[in-house]
Amino acid sequence: MKVVIGTLHTGEHFIRELSDAFPGVDFVAAYEDSEHPAAIADADVFLGWPGREAFLAARRLRWIHCPGAGIDKLTVVPEIVASDIPVTNAPGPHVNPMADHVIGMMVALTHRFKEMVRDQDRGFWGGADKYEHSFREISGGTMGIYGLGAIGRAVARRAAGFDMRIFAVDPGPSEAPDSVSECWGTDRLDDLCRVSDWLVVCAPIIAETHHSIDGRRLALMREGSYVVVISRGGIVDEDALADAISSGHLAGAGVDATEVEPLPSDSPLWGLDEVFISPHASALTPELYEGRREAFRSNLRRFLSGEPLEAVCDKRAGF
């Protein structure tokens, strides 16, 4: 049994831990993309994101495990999607830190934390003379959650603590938790934009969601509202978002994931004080990495004992 560890995402020490825990398995490190085709050729299991060249080189592959939640790096390979090789992921460990990050961005935007940090760095006490009447309260506002999966639900629980009214759009609107006032189908995305003081993007990036928050839908949002992008870039049209903020229609945005990463230096989002940018880092806690390692360990035990795998993704749906 050969298992290729094709990424350092789970930590360099992980392969040693696996070798100790599963002495009958041959674990092979192939951390660079260039190493994948040779390593995967006779592998049974691949942990990571094999590209098309690597996947086509595989002769006996039986399982691919994505160490994160999103499988979009795998579904761009049509042969992976068409194959009967299962793809699993680690759907839980990222949820809480990402939801925390959403709330952090909301507070940072409404209480001008970016500007205060700059003041602190230069030893300037702005006080009431500078900040009087310049903050906004989150409590009592309306949040729209685009994608009511695990992240969206965790965001909703936190937003409910701020006495917000919460609406959502999701393909499965019948499964809304108590914290959400109403959950609509995806055909009511326009309505979600209209009611939102805060539009939080928690949807996966698939064909149906790509640029689904475009200039037209941003124009539907209330004047002075905000957008937070926490799941994947490419769902919000970033040029349209920058235009809506520059024009004053939107008050600002929190952006943790962008369509091209790193965010290009010529992106108009960089120059906007009203935008809080983080480098796709919202989930990166020690608990996240240990949770993702345990997800693979647990599924590897099941694989070796012939039990059904957990967290099997729908490759054609994209999640």
Name the residue with tokens 């769902």: 235
Cβ count within 10 A of residue 264: 12
CB atoms under 10 Å from CB of 54, counted, come to: 26
Q: Is 36 helix (H, G, I), strand (E, B) or coil?
A: helix
211 is catalytic: no
Is 261 labeled as catalytic in the residue annotation? yes
Q: Which amino acid is at 66?
A: C
Which stretch of DSSP H or E encloses residue 2?
A: strand 2-5
**Which long-range contacts does 273-279 make (Cβ < 8 Å, 24+ apart)?**
273/114, 273/115, 274/109, 274/245, 274/250, 275/242, 275/245, 276/105, 276/108, 276/109, 276/113, 276/114, 276/252, 278/101, 278/105, 278/254
Check if 316 is active-site. no
C-beta of residue 84 within 8 angstroms of C-beta of residue 233 = no
**Whether the Cβ atoms of residue 158 and residue 102 lie closer than 8 Å to each other:** yes
**What burial class does residue 132 get, using C-beta atoms within 10 Å of its C-beta: 0-12 exposed, 13-18 middle, 19+ buried?**
exposed
Catalytic residue among 62, 158, 280, 302: 280
User: Rounded to whole angstroms, how far apart are CA atoms 7 and 62?
Assistant: 18
In this structure, the number of other CB atoms found within 10 A of the CB of residue 32 comes to 11
Find the catalytic residue in 79, 175, 208, 261. Answer: 261
What is the phi/psi pair of residue 243, to 5°?
-65, -45
Among 153, 217, 232, 293, the active-site one is: 232
Cβ partners under 8 Å of residue 13, min gap 6: none
The dihedral over CA atoms of 28, 33, 37, 40, expressed in degrees to the nearest 10, equals 30
Which sequence positions are flagged as catalytic? Answer: 232, 261, 280
